């Protein structure tokens, strides 16, 4: 059974009398442990897919099942809970809180998940070790390089053991060395059995995934196992 299933997914944006169909019937199944890139040019619908998969927005029609549950009919509050408990986000801009040390950034998803304080700290430490930043526990984001900040964000994404790690252009702000570093980390997480969905417009990044889903004008135009 797929952990992620979009069926006949449509998204229509409305402003006033103008309508725009950003997703035009998407069928997509992703299984546990898969490492999938969603790839397409600017305007193809990647952010819209990201917002749907991440429970940040809902479909106009069609269905989205996450971990076997229908998320279409959830209200804002339940959607926020699903988002916090089941999805580990990694964004282009890192989205770390600058005033908090690395470990406090990493423990945030567990605060929403009501994990006890001591356990949060231990798990944050282990997640930071997992991404190679065990010695940066107490550093604030501003004291870390871009690549290190993104690794903190990855630690935050995985600490709650989410159903999927959803990464939106995670290397868009990184130099080539840090890009290699962060993509290497995704390889390791994939080897550990994590489900990873990587959204990107860069073919070099998409080619690191095991499967590439090509999107164009709101539709899937190709879905292939990546032989590379």
| Binding-site ranges for ligand ADP (CB under 6 A) | 13, 15, 20, 22, 40, 42-48
Q: How far is CA 102 from the centre of its chain?
A: 19
Closest distance of CB 43 from ligand ADP, Å: 4
Dist. CA 64–CA 134, nearest whole Å: 37
Interatomic CA distance for residues 213 and 45, integer angstroms: 12
| Least distance CB 22 / ligand ADP (angstroms) | 4
Nearer to ligand ADP, 133 or 199 (CB): 199
Which residues lie below 8 Å from residue 201, measured CB to CB, with a gap of 6+?
Answer: 39, 40, 41, 42, 46, 169
**Distance (Å, whole) CA 149 – CA 25:** 36
Which lies closer to ligand ADP via its Cβ, residue 128 or residue 220?
220
Specify the residue, 93 or 145, whose C-beta has the smaller distance to ligand ADP.
93
Q: Which lies closer to ligand ADP via its Cβ, residue 157 or residue 199?
A: 199
Rounded to a whole number of angstroms, the minimum distance from the CB of residue 98 to ligand ADP is: 22
Query: Strand 61-66 vs strand 4-15: parallel, antiparallel, or unpaired?
Result: antiparallel
The residue among 17 and 42 lying less far from ligand ADP, judged by its C-beta, is 42
CA distances from 7 to 45, 66, 168 (A): 16, 12, 22
Closest distance to ligand ADP from the beta carbon of 212 (Å): 15
CB 120, min distance to ligand ADP, A: 31
CA gap 91, 198 in Å, rounded:
10
- Angle, in degrees to the nearest 10, between helices 76-86 and 102-112: 130
């Amino acid at each position: 059974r797929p952990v992620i299933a979009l069926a006949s997914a449509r998204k229509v944006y409305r402003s006033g009398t103008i309508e725009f169909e950003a997703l035009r019937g998407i069928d997509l199944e992703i299984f546990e442990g898969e490492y999938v890139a969603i790839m397409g040019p600017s305007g193809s619908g990647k952010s819209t897919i990201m917002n749907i998969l991440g429970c940040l927005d809902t479909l106009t029609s069609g269905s989205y099942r996450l971990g076997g549950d229908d998320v279409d009919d959830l209200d804002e509050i339940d959607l926020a809970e699903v988002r916090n408990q089941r999805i580990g986000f990694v964004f282009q801009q890192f989205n770390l809180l600058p005033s908090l040390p690395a470990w406090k950034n990493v423990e945030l998803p567990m605060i929403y998940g009501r994990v006890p304080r001591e356990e949060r700290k231990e798990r944050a430490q282990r997640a930071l070790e997992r991404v190679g930043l065990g010695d940066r526990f107490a550093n604030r984001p501003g004291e870390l390089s871009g690549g290190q900040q993104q690794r903190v964000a990855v630690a935050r994404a995985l600490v709650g053991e989410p159903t999927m790690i959803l990464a939106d252009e995670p290397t868009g702000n990184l130099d080539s060395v840090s890009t290699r570093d962060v993509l290497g980390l995704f390889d390791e997480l994939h080897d550990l059995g994590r489900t990873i969905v990587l959204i990107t417009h860069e073919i070099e990044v998409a080619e690191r995934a095991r499967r590439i889903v090509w999107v164009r004008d709101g539709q899937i135009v190709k879905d292939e196992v990546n032989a590379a």
